[in-house]
């Protein structure tokens, strides 16, 4: 499946720049007379300089790791396991708010080299995002962003195709967005975003462009609780894929286009008891309609959760996701009344990080994926284990 990391980074970028302005405590510290500032510990003085309006903060992390994967090709009949080496680069540059303007840029790149694999020798991806936010009035924020990625990976293209297709190929993608957020009294607020997307697949005719509209209504109670409900509506237009009859026969002189709608709700909790905790839960319902015969129409329900615990130099993170996909027209098998095509995807991930000194970190990760389908040779399992170390400049 498509690597989820770019989406996670984009979400992290949103969270980073949406933080409130410095608290009253920070404002008081910054207003101290110079002689008192000079008396502060050096690390606190440096932190005050970084928090100055208009100051830039930069972060660069390089990590190396070794790993093992059960099913590199996502095969349903003959899984191929292999070990790999991994290198990763993560960078961030953020400018502190000045005159209502905030700037952020992130880059993330990863390469894996397999020991001896008949499916692929290596996998690479690069992701970058640039974002600017302007707040002419404290409750009102405008956000504009561009992001892109390049991914060289074994990808499951089954969703919406009718028969399972897995390929080792390259994907290029770009996205531009513009959003508006308004905060009301009592922690209530609304967020509206327009997103334009373009994806190009090398080797298969999956290229498409899409326009997505998203709206969200949220409520926050201090720093410990956030509740939100929202929805999305999107139009996806393919460059090469054709429409089909109800039986799946391709139609000449046609181009496939999807209409997609999503409704979701999410909950985030933060608390401190034996460490710092964060819990996030999300549920959504998605409808895909091809606007033609309905051969590609399906409904998807998705649930996910993440739990993070931090204490001292330790951080442990767990994530879980499952989704059920039901096609409204496609069937599997033969006979007078064959079963409707169904697919169940489950995944979970666990990470352990330990900060060693001021710059080093050691970590371990495990990721388990399982996809079950009532189609022939359409189910697979995969597990990846990674152990490594990172250095932050």
- Residue 91 in contact with residue 130, Cβ under 8 Å? no
The DSSP element (H or E) to which 42 belongs, if any, is helix 42-50
What's residue 42's pLDDT?
A: 72
Cβ atoms of 326 and 340 closer than 8 Å: yes
Residue 6 is predicted with a pLDDT of: 46
State residue 58's pLDDT score. Answer: 92
Give me the domains of the chain, ranges plus CATH numbers.
Answer: 5-392 (2.40.160)
Tokens, residue 178: 């513009």
Backbone phi and psi for residue 2, each to the nearest 5 degrees, phi listed first: -60, 140
Q: What is the pLDDT of residues 47-77, one digit of tens each?
A: 777 677 788 889 999 999 999 999 999 998 8
Structure token pair of residue 162: 């009718």
Residues 250 and 213: beta-carbon distance below 8 Å: no
Dihedral of alpha carbons 335, 336, 341, 342, sign: negative
H helices, E strands: number in the chain: 4, 16
- What is the per-residue pLDDT for 31? 67
What is the rounded average pLDDT for all residues in the chain? 89
For residue 65, the surrounding DSSP H or E stretch is: strand 56-69
Q: What is the pLDDT of residues 22-37, one digit of tens each?
A: 455 556 666 677 777 6
Does this model's pTM top 0.75? My answer is yes
- Nearby residues of 94 by Cβ (< 8 Å), 6 or more positions away: 16, 17, 56, 57, 58, 102, 103, 104, 105
- Would you state the pLDDT for residue 7? 46
How far apart CA 191 and CA 197 sit, in angstroms, is 19
**pLDDT tens digits, the chain, 393 residues: what are they?**
334 444 444 454 445 444 444 455 556 666 677 777 677 777 777 777 767 778 888 999 999 999 999 999 999 888 999 999 999 999 999 998 889 999 999 999 999 999 988 888 899 999 999 999 999 999 999 999 999 999 998 888 776 565 677 888 899 999 999 999 999 999 999 999 999 999 999 988 899 999 999 999 999 998 899 999 999 999 999 999 999 999 889 999 999 999 999 999 999 999 999 999 999 999 999 999 999 999 999 999 999 999 999 999 999 999 999 999 999 999 888 788 889 999 999 999 999 999 999 899 999 999 999 999 998 888 999 999 999 999 999
Give the pLDDT confidence of 229-255 residue by residue, as tens digits. 999 999 999 999 999 999 889 999 999
pLDDT for the residue 46: 72
Q: Which pLDDT score, from 0 to 100, does residue 162 have?
A: 58
What CA–CA distances, in Å, run from 161 to 250, 256, 313?
A: 12, 11, 46
Q: What 3-state class would DSSP assign to 28?
A: helix
């Amino acid at each position: 499946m498509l690597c989820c990391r770019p989406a996670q980074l984009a979400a992290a970028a949103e969270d980073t720049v949406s933080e409130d302005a410095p608290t009253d405590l920070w404002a008081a510290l910054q207003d101290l007379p110079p002689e008192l500032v000079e008396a502060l510990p050096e690390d606190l003085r440096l932190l005050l300089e970084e928090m100055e309006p208009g100051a830039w903060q930069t972060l660069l992390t390089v990590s190396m790791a070794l790993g093992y994967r059960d099913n590199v090709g996502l095969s349903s009949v003959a899984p191929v396991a292999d070990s790999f080496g991994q290198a990763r680069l993560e960078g961030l540059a953020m400018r502190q708010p000045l005159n209502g303007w905030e700037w952020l840029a992130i880059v993330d790149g990863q390469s894996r080299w397999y020991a001896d694999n008949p499916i692929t020798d290596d996998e690479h991806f690069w992701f970058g995002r640039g974002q600017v936010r302007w707040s002419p009035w404290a409750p009102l924020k405008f956000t504009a962003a561009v992001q892109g990625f390049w991914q060289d990976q074994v990808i499951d293209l089954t969703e919406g195709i009718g028969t399972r297709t897995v390929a080792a190929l390259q994907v290029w993608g770009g996205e531009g967005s513009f959003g508006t957020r308004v905060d009301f009294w009592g922690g209530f607020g609304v967020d509206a975003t327009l997103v334009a997307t373009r994806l190009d697949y090398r080797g298969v005719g999956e290229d498409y462009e899409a326009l997505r509209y998203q709206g969200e209504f949220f409520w926050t109670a201090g720093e410990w609780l956030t509740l939100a409900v929202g929805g999305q509506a999107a139009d996806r237009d393919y460059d090469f894929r054709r429409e089909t009859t109800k039986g799946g026969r391709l139609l000449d002189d046609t181009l496939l286009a999807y209409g997609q709608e999503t409704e979701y709700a999410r909950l985030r909790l933060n608390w401190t008891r034996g460490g710092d905790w964060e819990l996030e839960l999300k549920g959504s319902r998605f409808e895909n309609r091809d606007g033609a015969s309905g051969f590609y129409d399906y409904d998807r329900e998705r649930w996910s959760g993440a739990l993070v615990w931090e204490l001292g130099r330790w951080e442990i993170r767990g994530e879980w996701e499952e989704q059920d996909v039901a096609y409204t027209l496609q069937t599997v098998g033969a006979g007078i009344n064959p079963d409707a095509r169904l697919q169940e995807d489950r995944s979970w991930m666990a990470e352990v990080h330990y900060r060693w000194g001021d710059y080093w970190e050691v970590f371990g990760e495990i990721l388990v994926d399982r996809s079950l389908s009532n189609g022939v040779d359409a189910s697979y399992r995969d597990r990846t284990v990674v152990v490594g170390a990172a250095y932050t400049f």
